[in-house]
Structure 1
Amino acid sequence: MSAFSLKMDIAENRFFNGETSTLFSRQQAQQARRFHQKMTGYKPTPLVPLNELAALFGVKKILVKDESQRFGLNAFKMLGGSYAIARLLCEKYHSDINELSFEKLKSSIKEKMTFATTTDGNHGRGVAWAAQQLGQNAVIYMPKGSAQERVDAILRLGAECIVTDMNYDDTVRFTMQTALKNGWEVVQDTAWEGYTKIPTWIMQGYATLADEAVEQIASMGISRPTHVLLQGGVGAMAGGVLGYLTDVYGAKNLHSIIVEPALADCLYRSGVKGQIVNVGGDMATIMAGLACGEPNPLGWEVLRNCATQFVSCQDAVAALGMRVLGNPFGCDSRIISGESGAVGVGLLAAVHFNPQREVLMHQLKLDSNSVVLVISTEGDTDVKHYREVVWEGKHPAVQ
């Protein structure tokens, strides 16, 4: 196979201290998972071993958590939105989350509510789905350039969907102002001063997938992963999942790598500086779910304390991951992974094909004993673009 070089900037986390968070612990994740288990259609998403790809890449195991099979929604995001809405309703009606299901919550709602959020697609779809399940309203705002297919998926769930002429972070601010004026409840997966409770619940809800993965890893007879690759974005998923994993395995026992698009690498830049750094502009990356320029301070605290490395990479890395997963090596299973979902495997592939492979493997502490956990956070949520990448070769690895 060809050798080629894709842009990957790797930064060591000089501010790592290994301090875990009580907010994003095993206990909190298991409470969220118990709630999700009561939902109709719940089942753990597959943890897929790619043994032949692992042998090719020179590691012991590659384990991919395939979130395309989550509640038929093609992405993991509903885990956070549904749990946060449930916690919000429990607080409003003085109920115990441990004793309630969505069905019981639906019967307890005494007045129609409207949930609002900003999304690049998957989070808004999850909020719209949860609102529909509860018989409530949802208003979803999306930044400019959002794919029509993602808009249509939200509309099919009965929500109102509005595409703005602003980038993601400015749309978040607009959503907050509009919701405040109209008396709507904001269910946003990023936090700011005075708005931390709901983002905390969302992040705790995301950890359901990590609790499943830990259980699945143990069932394979594997004591623990040595590495985990997590997508950046605002850092909500990465923070929630890493918080849980470090509580289970210990931060010093897990080499955690946070991966972002170079066009929206706010966590990478924050990791280099040791404090939050915002990124502005259009952030026109193909990784729509990661096109966020302002870190979630709750997630950032976990990542600053416990992440091993931060990586900023070009879009072709994600496109490579989509093709590798969609065209499996040897007898490995096929995984349909979207732009944001595939960047972890894309990074592993980009390292393998790089002329400086050995140097990069050493830098990432990857070797024949490495067990790598990767989260494929979404499937082909934009089918048109998925086919342009996988069929037509858009964003090629080799020019």
Structure 2
Amino acid sequence: MPSQIEVFLNRTRFYDDPTACVADFSRAQLSKALRFHRTMPGYAPTSLVSLENLAAALGVRSLHVKDESARFGLKAFKVLGGAYAMARHIADLLGRDIDDLPFVELASERIRGEIGTIVFATTTDGNHGRGVAWTARQFRQKAVVYMPRGTTPQRLEAIRAEGAQAEIVDLNYDEAVRMTAREAEAHGWLVVQDTAWPGYEKIPLWIMQGYGTLMLEAMQQLHEVPPTHVLIQAGVGSLAGMVQGMVTAAWGKDRPRVIVVEAAAADCLYRSAVTAGCRPVTVGGDLATVMAGLACGEANTIGWNILRDYAEAFVSCPDFVTTRGMRVLGNPLPGDPAVVSGESGAVTTGLLSILLQSGCWAETREALGLDAQSRVLVVSTEGDTDPQRYRSIVWDGQIPSYQQF
């Protein structure tokens, strides 16, 4: 695995129209998902945390963290996408608009009787599969979840606790996705995957639109004043693609600069951008990284097409970047609140702290426009979804972050 941070400043542009191909992520489209989420029992906007003292120490005007650790008690944002896509599928089966189907009705015995049994199948490193399993149980349906090698037993048991049939298979993430698709076709299951490929795009699009709820919440919490920069992590690129699509649709050429951040062991978007080609590059092998939720070697084609055209930069990060971020957020400066952020949630904060505090990144800071007037938004996509690993990093110092930056 590479031991250094790699930054690619994106100058590739395939569209002259700054709002081309992002209509699916307009506020009108994302608001349908938000209205649905508001019907879910226990819904509440997650916190937008202002780290005023850290911002001052880093030399930016403001730093806000969208903290997804309290989302529906599942400690991660992923359920936003899975639940919305599953609901949209059921609405289609019924021939009804999702705006007319609140969550409580979808979870009723009457609806279950109308549509019969659905088996929702997915591959996951943990958070997405738990969200699918949780939603399937609420809808009185079934879930089958396959998890790639390297998945911790704690993540497996968390999914089984939601009533799903789940197992760890001896395949990497992308190989497991293909296996899940084959099994689903053989058994008549419905694949609920947040990555897209030719011929499989409707459900991934719904999932991405479901993620839009967190950005709509964040903008309301920011009083509709957009940040100047958004640092967003990427596995397959579904969340990052949604963020880029949303800000481009909303603000066009005046959009915030989006910086896409990946795990070095699975940096398919970064490698794709470096090649400056139209087709995404695949990363193979074990995809071994502590950032389990980002260990994906094949890009979501919907997300890639948007990020390729509009993202400001792509960054490939070794594991020490995210462990630094976990410690920074969990051990705040006096006066700032603590944020419990898991391995896939903190890499953007870790990267920001390194870019702004290390002299060797001065040219990159200037190229990205990171300065005293910058208003930065990051998303902590998960809390301590694997508490044992979280403590091994934050308490016990696993993967030290003292490497040369």
Q: Please indicate the TM-score interval, normalised by the length of the shorter structure.
A: over 0.9
Aligned residue number for residue 3 of structure 1: none
Task: State yes or no: 1:396 paired with 2:403.
Answer: no
Please state whether the residue corresponding to 1:145 is helix, strand or coil.
coil
Instruction: Give the secondary structure class of the aligned counterpart of 2:72.
Output: coil
Question: 2-side partners of 1:360 and 1:151: how far apart?
Answer: 40
1:297 corresponds to 2:301: yes
3-state secondary structure, aligned to 2:210: helix
Corresponding residue for 1:125?
Answer: 130
The reply to whether residue 209 of structure 1 matches residue 214 of structure 2 is yes
For 1:347-362, list aligned pairs within 5 A.
347-362=351-366
Q: 1:263 aligns with which of 262, 265, 276?
A: 265
Which secondary structure does the structure 2 equivalent of 1:165 belong to?
Answer: coil
Q: Distance in 2 between matches of 1:101 and 1:364?
A: 42
What does 1:154-165 correspond to in 2, within 5 Å?
154-165=159-170
What displacement does 1:250 show?
2.5
With normalisation by structure 1, the TM-score equals: 0.96
- What percent of counterpart residues are identical? 52
Q: Which range moved further: 166-175 or 300-309?
A: 300-309
Which residue in the other structure is 1:25 paired with? Answer: 26
Q: Which residue of 2 aligns with 1:382?
A: 386
Structure 1 residue 306: Cα displacement: 1.4
State how far apart, in whole Å, the 1-side matches of 2:9 and 2:196 are: 25
Q: Specify which of 128, 134, 145 is matched with residue 139 of structure 2.
A: 134
Matches of 1:96 and 1:26, distance apart in 2: 18
Q: Indicate which of 130, 151, 173 corresponds to 2:156.
A: 151
Q: CA deviation at 1:357?
A: 4.2
Shift of 1:251: 4.6
Q: Report the alpha carbon displacement of residue 364 of structure 1 after superposing the two structures with TM.
A: 2.4
The answer on whether the counterparts of 1:269 and 1:277 sit within 8 Å (CA) in structure 2 is: yes
Deviations 1:249-298 (A, max 9, x none): 32543111000011100000111123311100001011100000000000
Whether the aligned pair in 1 keeps the contact of 2:112 and 2:140 (CA below 8 Å) is: no
Secondary structure in 1 matching 2:122: strand
SS in 1 for 2:24: coil
Number of the residue aligned with 1:278:
282
Q: Which one-letter code corresponds to 1:237 in the other structure? A: L
The one of 304, 318, 321 equivalent to 1:314 is 318
Q: For 1:190 and 1:230, locate their aligned partners in 2 and report how far apart those are by CA, in whole Å.
A: 17
Match of 1:236 in 2: 238
Q: Structure 1 residue 244: deviation in Å? A: 1.2
Aligned equivalents of 2:181, 2:171: Cα separation in 1: 14
Work out whether residues 19 and 252 of structure 2, in 8 Å CA contact, stay in contact via their aligned partners in 1. no
Structure 1 CA distance, aligned partners of 2:252 and 2:315? Answer: 22
Q: State the Cα distance separating 1:246 from its structure 2 match.
A: 1.9
Structure 1 gaps, min length 5: 1-5
- CA contact under 8 A between 1:102 and 1:133: conserved in structure 2? no
Question: Is contact 1:189–1:236 with CA below 8 Å preserved after alignment?
Answer: yes
Find the aligned partners of 2:119 and 2:242 in 1 and give their Cα distance: 26
Residue identity in the other structure for 1:63: H
Name the SS of the counterpart of 1:356 in structure 2.
helix
1:112 to 96, 117, 122: 117
Q: Write the distance in 2 (CA, Å) between the matches of 1:253 and 1:234.
A: 23
**Aligned-residue offset at 1:356:** 1.5
Amino acid at match of 1:267: L
Instruction: Kindly provide the CA deviation profile for residues 51-72 of structure 1, in whole angstroms up to 9, marking residues without a partner as x.
Output: 0000000000000000001001
Q: CA deviation at 1:354?
A: 2.1
Cα displacement string for residues 372-398 of structure 1 (whole angstroms, at most 9, x for unaligned residues) = 010000001111111111011111112
Counterpart of 2:344 in structure 1 is: 340
Give, in angstroms, the shift of residue 352 of structure 1.
Answer: 3.2
2:6 to 3, 9, 14: 9
Instruction: Return the alpha-carbon distance in structure 1 between the equivalents of residues 148 and 317 of structure 2.
Output: 22
User: Which region of structure 1 is more displaced relative to structure 2, 251-260 or 159-168?
Assistant: 251-260
Query: What value does the CA root-mean-square deviation take over the aligned residues?
Result: 1.3
Is the contact made by 2:257 and 2:312 (CA closer than 8 Å) also made in structure 1?
A: yes
What is the aligned counterpart of 2:255 among 253, 256, 259? 253
Aligned equivalents of 2:253, 2:83: Cα separation in 1: 28
Aligned-pair distance for 1:368?
Answer: 0.5
SS of the residue corresponding to residue 35 of structure 1 reads: helix
Match of 1:89 in 2: 90
CA distance in 2, matches of 1:236, 1:327: 30
Deviations 1:170-204 (A, max 9, x none): 00000000011111111000111111000000000
Is the CA contact 1:326–1:334 (under 8 Å) kept in the aligned structure 2? yes
Per-residue deviation at 1:361? 2.0
Stretches of structure 2 lacking an aligned partner (at least 5 in a row): none
Instruction: Give the distance between the partners of 1:376 and 1:311, measured in 2 at CA.
Output: 17
> What CA deviation, in whole Å up to 9, does each residue of 1:131-181 have, x standing for no partner?
011111000000001011111110110001110000000000000000111
Report the equivalent of 1:99. 100
From 263, 288, 292, the counterpart of 2:292: 288
**Contact 2:237–2:300 (8 Å) recurs in 1:** yes
Identify the residue that residue 61 of structure 2 maps to in structure 1.
60
In structure 2, C-alpha distance between the alignment counterparts of 1:83 and 1:230, rounded to whole Å: 21
TM-score normalized by the length of structure 2 = 0.94
Give the residue type in structure 1 aligned to 2:10: N
Rounded Cα–Cα distance in structure 2 between residues aligned with 1:326 and 1:292 = 26
Please list the CA deviations of residues 339-390 of structure 1 after superposition, one character each: whole Å capped at 9, or x if unmatched: 1100110001122342314333213211010000100000011111111110
